[in-house]
Structure 1
């Protein structure tokens, strides 16, 4: 069944190329469009003269200019033979190469992972993270090793779609000392998990420690907006824009956010 599906997909991909070889489009020279345009202009000049829009002198001058341009269009060149050779080579060589590579390296009979196998892998990851958590808890909170370990824990939990566990890891990092970047990550995780009140309360405590941090100030407005308080969000972002440098690259994004507020 796998081979039949692969062959069908390959055939569907190569059909346009085969159709081009079977029914090639008529060859047109580059000046055909120009000549058609000039003929249309001559016909329009004749209509304008017959309707009295152009007198004889103006008509003659315009007609002469159009005819001069038409004469300047190069004559069509005969089509060169052999243009289909690359298409034929592609139609034959590409499928053959793909088939050969798949025969050498592909494993068409490999079954997909079962639910039990995926469950076992998830349980194994959970055990490893639990072991890492136990080791990190025993380390001094402010040590570089603990900080790096909790960062890995937070990234792993966010990738697994567990924002609560990621937030707990960021909290452990902040126990070793305030870091506005980590604080911004924690606030973002709280917002992503729709814990808007917790995010607003946390940002209220974090902003006095880093009043000029753009990320924290933006997230403060974002949390208010997500919580359904557009006026508070507008006030936070207005203050952020008022203190922003003229060439700040994020100003447009904040302005668009403000415009989207109800």
Structure 2
């Protein structure tokens, strides 16, 4: 509260400094010398000096002084009238209006600008909470900086890459996480969990699309550990995206039946299976997949937007067409096939890939 009182006093002082000149007394305004009045007075003095030097005759000097005096009187009368008008009742009303406007509008504008560009939230949180939040962020950034400095000197430290990879995901640096997991696999060797994590971050980097490269990583993980739930889940997602519905339903069902009671990925798999019209076996690990059934529409939309704005490979266009077909959005699948042909007009092999996908999905309306 004290800070607001201080700001109010500072604002009032600034406003008064601006309004002070408007409150000058009438006498002060009248005391100011008008340039025209000063000119005629100097002219009368000059005529008197010319008479004394003999330049003008006494009669000429008197006539000139009389004319200059009349002009002086007119100038003096006009100046006095103007001065009185300036400080009269109309001027008083203007001053009051200006004062009211300044005292009300200036603080309002100042508060609006402060709310838009300032940091009012800093006054609503205790300093201890602000310090803790800033400290946590600084600690994380400092830790990441230290690890990155260490890895710059020791790029073959696979353990360091494996430690920093999930931190990159938390920070939203997905591309850096992909590189970190890739380095961890390279220097620590392939394991089922390490490969599953690597494949998952590749899927995240593609907005939920299980690319052919990621699918190979998951297949390798399953070869090392047939029970790897994360790898099996994403292989089922890949089959679903490829339009292999029965294969996907079977993979989801087998994953559920082999999962322990209360497995964290159970609900996600049931939703995916239900979306395909499959049964929901009763089955029940902190290794739950990060992408669920509710994300499928989002990831397809993200893929479509990326292909529209940045382009992509024939395989990615084919995957988009499959995804629309899986979702039952046949019109969008047909439109995607047509856009793919336009984007790949100079790529004969790519056009063959799209045509083959259209035939596989029986998109006869999309046939060339």
TM beyond 0.5:
no
Larger radius of gyration: 2
Identify the TM-score tier after normalising by the shorter chain: 0.3 to 0.5
- State the TM-score, normalizing by the size of structure 2: 0.33
